[in-house]
Amino acid sequence: MSFQSLEQDMANAIGFVFDRSVDPPALLGQGFLVSKSRFVCCAGKVFHYTDAPWALELYFVHPEIRMGVKSVSIHPDFDKPLARNDYLAQTGRPGETLPILPNDMAMLIVDPDPIELMPERVGELVRAMSLPFNNRGVETSGPVKGHEYLQVINNLLAQGKQGLLTLFDIHNIPIARLLLAQNSIPLVYSSLYNMPPAYTFFELAIRQPALGFAFEPQGEFAWPDMTPINAPADRLIWEAMRRANELEGLFAGLGGINGRYQKVVQSYDPTSSSEEIRWMVGNLWETLDGFITLDNLSTRVGADTYTSLVAVRELVNRGVASQINRSSPFHGNGTVGPPLISHTDFEVHNWDNLQAFYLDPLSGKPCWVQGNYFGSASAVQPKNMLHTIPVPPEVSGALICKDYKLIGLHNGPQALRGGVTAPPMKCSQFMWMGALLDVSSKKAKFGGDSDEGGVTSLKSRLDVEPSQAPAAEDRIVCPVCFSSNHAYGACSNCGHIIEAPPEEPEAKTVKDKAGKAVKKLQKKTGFTNKQAAIAAVILVPLFLITIMSMLKPPAQPTPSDQVKLPGEIAHHDSNEAARKMAVEKAGFKLKPEEDYWYEDTSEQTKPNPSFGVFSERTNQKLTFMLHQDMSPYNNLKAFEKRPPFVQDFFFDEGVPSETGEQVLGDSTLKWFILSGSDAKGNKLKILLGAFPAVESSKCFLVTGQAYAKDGQTYIPNNALSVIENLAADRTQKANQAKRDGIKPNEVDEDEVEDEKKDLATEEDIVKFMNSAKETIQENLSLPDWAKEELKKDKAERRKIKTKLKIGIDNEGNVKALEKLDADEGDEEQKLLEGALQSAITKSSPFKFVPNFKEPVLKFIVKLSGNKIKLEKATAATTL
């Protein structure tokens, strides 16, 4: 299995745990499936819901599936009363987090069909989870909703009140503090938003999380270090309301709250931004990864949502960022799993390399972090372990892996209680996956669920992993620190002397020898006496069968290395003829998505020329047939019952076909999703579609079917996403033309002829490159170390050289940028590369671009000393 496949399988099994009894649903943590019906997460996040599992929801973001929860089982040794006390002691002060307790593991039984919430049960749960209200020193308090807290502030200031205003959420947990002074609000802090005071105030007005307030004239609060707000209170409130009111229009102009943006160039100079966003655009630039939505940007960037959207809009206008070409970066195929297998059959030694894998809580992006194993957290409870992986503090429920195999559940930063000595470095706690058996055993002991969701120690062992013998027979465990050792004597971890057990007396009788052999087998396999007896009943007949099979001919030889293994994905290169047809006739991208390739299918579709877009991994086989007229596009339903060149498919006239249209270029893609079956009666779905070609009066007829007929499910909706992505550049150009007031097909034959004549010559290209060189040279600003080197004699100075390969479109915008230096270089070399990238970015869009036929004009920009040189890129370019 490739690393990419491993990562995707893990991501498919990871889900976010939400409390859906509040609005909006509150993210509690994340976890993962260990069987079709069992989900593992941290007990500290769900211990309140053991009697209210209906309030929980699991959201698997990559397959885009939501499930409910039937039951919640907590590890029997998890200290629930202590966790409850820690929860009730929350104050909302800076840096406050709930401490991690030992045995922090829980198991949820999933429910594919969540039950409907009942208001009375929701109210009961909210009361149970609410903190007691302390009215000491409080002059006035009460519930608020929406922007009502702003009216409370206005009333207090109008009365000349000064003091501490605290805002609460639905559970009476303090979420924000505001210091009220004479007609001013100098200090604002919120545990929800890590922002400067003014922007925190704006975000509170935008998000409206407050559901209660309390005012203390003599209230005290340990304010973190922050710059006070100088604006008058009435001006601050007015600005907050303005931003909140204008937010809807900003979202609409950028693609909605779920819009996602990515970088177009590799680097961006924040100092070139407008003054309004210059202070935060560096953080924003690092955040634009194509995964995080506009609605979640503010939390990561450290500025209110309004400022974040204004900054995104400016980056888009500068041509350095763009919206992704898909509605979502996730496949969304509606299938979770496969469940993850625990690997507890090998030892972990101090300082072994470990990996943590999790989904970013804000964006769902898969993340890997490296670290080391640091031993057991407790000598009494050895399944509580420590690692040094720098997992973000807001992440709980991450996978802890050794050699990329699941061994543990990440809980969070280590909490030191009861005089426990702090380790010499920052550590985090995780639970060994073997502890899941303790949770399963208790669940079975007290009743469990039905056969499908029921949990017993034996069934859970079989669901999670193949039956494996414990590796204890080869391990020598220290009775003090529980570390594994390879020999008796001094413990390799704590130095305690481990004594060898006394030797057993020699067996003399046949009965004693047989008993000793059975005990040896039980020690090696972990069998009980009852299991050993059952094994004997099974193994004796198997032994006799083995003796009889010895007379059979030998087995077939092992396949050679050239044989393709199950699940292995072969690499395919795109056919050049098919690529040319896709780009020139259909307006598609030069390169399809990863794991897809262009295939020449004209031989199968004679007399119509065609090309295919295939993917073995996603089981897609799309065929695009070029027709010399628009009849397939105008009368697509005529192909419904017998889609051309689709093998082994019989249309089901009793099932209505799904139909729809989506934007493609300056027109639309019309499509049908056909239902039918194959010759064996297996249900199938097929995609049928049509869209206009680049040339007028021609169109493409599209069919989509499974690449391999081996039982894999074919999802036609994924094919629509693939086509949308392939035609993204064509659609973008059409949208730009609409904005510029240019109508499609607004040219006559004479204009087409003139355009062909006006295509750039080599001389035109050279003139443009000379002009571009001068522009980049003017915008070049070398780093300080390079300037100092240039002052030295030529024989003594370091080489100041770097080069980049860029591609620009017909408007002069930089569409691609690629490093050509093979090695990463030191920090100074990176600064030099950054200076050249910055010069290119500032020069975009380039002027006087000649008319060229290719999608992008590619050339190499070289920097030698302080001189810029341009060369046309070779045909082997990857841009």
> For 600-611, what is the HEC assignment?
ECCCCCCCCCEE
User: What mean pLDDT comes out for the span 242-255?
Assistant: 92
pLDDT of residue 469: 36
Residue 10 above 60 pLDDT?
Answer: yes
β-pairing, 56-60 vs 14-19, is antiparallel
The per-residue pLDDT for range 639-667, each reduced to its tens digit, is 888 888 888 888 888 888 888 888 898 89
pLDDT at 304: 96
Give the mean model confidence (pLDDT) for residues 622-633: 91
- Three-state DSSP state, 621: strand
pLDDT at residue 874 tops 80:
no
Task: Give the lowest-confidence range in 139-148, 248-257, 504-513, 665-674.
Answer: 504-513
**pLDDT-wise least confident of 101-110, 272-281, 836-845:** 836-845
Q: Which residue has the tokens 């000793």?
A: 516
Nearest Cα residue to 814 out of 791, 846, 779, 785:
846
- Structure tokens given for 41: 């997460």
Confidence of residue 838 (pLDDT cuts 50, 70, 90): confident
Q: Which of 136, 177, 139, 168 is nearest to 156 (CA)?
A: 139
E strand spans, 722-846: 801-808, 814-819
Secondary structure (3-state) at 636: helix
- Name the DSSP letter for residue 92: -
Sequence-separated (6 or more) residues with CB below 8 Å from residue 579: 590, 598, 611
Mark 617-650 as b/e (b = at least 16 C-beta within 10 Å): ebbbbbbbbbbeeeebbeebeebeeebeebeebe
pLDDT digits (tens, 9 = 90+) for 674-694: 999 888 888 889 999 999 999
Residues with Cβ within 8 Å of residue 257, at least 6 apart in sequence? 251, 293, 294, 295
DSSP letter string over 271-326?
Answer: GGS-TTTTTTHHHHHHH-EEEEEGGGHHHHHTS-HHHHHHHHHHHHHTTSEEE-SS
Q: How confident is the model at residue 555 (pLDDT cuts 50, 70, 90)?
A: very low
Determine how many CB atoms are found less than 10 A away from the CB of residue 376: 20
CA distances from 37 to 72, 113, 411 (A): 12, 12, 22
Tell me, what's the pLDDT at 358? Answer: 97
> 3-class SS at 165?
strand
Full set of structural domains in the chain with CATH = 3-129 (2.40.10.10), 140-218 (no CATH), 259-323 (1.10.10), 576-739 (3.40.1000), 756-872 (3.30.1150)
866 vs 552, which has greater pLDDT? Answer: 866
Structure tokens at 206: 């935008």
- pLDDT value, residue 30: 97
Lowest mean pLDDT among 231-240, 392-401, 782-791: 782-791
Give the model's pLDDT for residue 21.
94
pLDDT band at 180 (very low <50, low <70, confident <90, very high): very high
How far is Cα 416 from Cα 386, in angstroms, rounded to an integer? 12
Label residue 18 by pLDDT band (50, 70, 90): very high
Tell me how many helices (H) and strands (E) the chain has.
22, 36
On the CB side of 643, CA atoms within 13 Å amount to: 30
Which helix (H) or strand (E) segment holds residue 142: the answer is strand 140-143
State pLDDT tens for residues 707-728. 887 666 788 888 888 898 899 8
C-alpha 378/C-alpha 368 separation (Å) is 27
Token code pair at residue 155: 């009333």
Predicted local distance difference test score (pLDDT) of residue 511:
52
Mean pLDDT of the chain: 83
Measured distance CA(40)–CA(397) in Å, rounded? 8
pLDDT category of residue 562 using cuts at 50, 70 and 90:
very low
**Band of pLDDT at residue 530, cut at 50, 70 and 90:** low
For the chain, give the percent of residues with pLDDT over 90. 47
Would you state the structure tokens that stand for residue 14, as one six-digit string?
A: 């990871």
Stretch 221-226: mean pLDDT: 93
**Residue bearing tokens 């094919």:** 719
The yes-or-no verdict on residue 875 having pLDDT over 70 is no
Question: How far from 831 is each of 389, 558, 728, 870, CA to CA, in Å?
Answer: 29, 54, 33, 20
Contact criterion met (CB below 8 Å) for 74 and 106: yes
Confidence of residue 753 (pLDDT cuts 50, 70, 90): very low
Q: Which burial class, exposed, middle or buried, applies to 89 when counting CB atoms under 10 A from its CB (0-12, 13-18, 19+)?
A: exposed
* Separation between Cα atoms, residue 11 and residue 333, nearest integer Å: 13
The whole-number pLDDT of residue 475 equals: 53
For tokens 């469940």, the residue is 339
Cα–Cα distance, 542 to 385 (Å, whole number): 42
- 746: number of Cβ within 10 Å: 8
Helix (H, G, I), strand (E, B) or coil at 863: strand
Helices (H), 572-674: 576-584, 631-634
What 3 state SS string does 444-512 have? HHCCCCCCCCCCCHHHHHHHHCCCCCCHHHHCEECCCCCCEECCCEECCCCCCEECCCCCCCCCCCHHH
Give the model's confidence band at 445: pLDDT under 50 very low, under 70 low, under 90 confident, else very high: very low
DSSP-assigned letters across all residues of 530-565: HHHHHHHHHHHHHHHHHHHHTTSPPPPPPPPTTSPP
Given this model, what pLDDT does residue 793 score? 84
Per the listing, tokens 């396999």 go with 525
Q: Which two tokens stand for residue 111?
A: 């429910």
User: What is the pLDDT at residue 548?
Assistant: 61
Confidence at 468, pLDDT banded by 50, 70, 90: very low
Of the candidates 805, 807, 809, which has an alpha carbon nearest to the alpha carbon of residue 849?
809
Does the pLDDT of residue 101 top 90, yes or no?
yes
CA distances from 642 to 33, 49, 625, 649 (A): 42, 54, 15, 9
Model confidence at 157: pLDDT above 90: yes
Q: Side by side, which strands form the sheet with 801-808?
A: 814-819, 801-808, 857-864, 867-872
Given a cut of 90, is residue 591 above it in pLDDT?
no
| Of residues 684, 688, 689, 621, the one with CA closest to residue 655 | 684
Taking the C-alpha atoms of residue 540 and residue 554, their distance in angstroms, rounded to an integer, is 23
The gap from C-alpha 835 to its chain's centroid, in whole angstroms, comes to 31
Instruction: Examine the pLDDT at 703 and tell me if it is beyond 90.
Output: yes
How many angstroms separate the Cα of 99 from the Cα of each of 49, 117, 191, 356, 450? 19, 31, 16, 20, 35
Query: In whole angstroms, what is the distance from residue 817 CA to residue 834 CA?
Result: 12
Strands 857-864, 399-402: pairing is unpaired
Peptide bond into 338 cis (omega under 30): yes
Average pLDDT over residues 832-841: 85
pLDDT for the residue 743: 59
DSSP letter at 207 equals H
pLDDT, tens only, 358-390 = 999 999 999 999 999 998 887 778 899 999 999
Q: What is the 3-state secondary structure (H, E, C) of 333-378?
A: CCCCCCCCCCCCCCCCCCCCEEEEEEECCCCCCEEEEEEEEEEECC
With beta carbons less than 8 A apart as the criterion, state whether 211 and 141 touch: no
Measured distance CA(43)–CA(296) in Å, rounded: 26
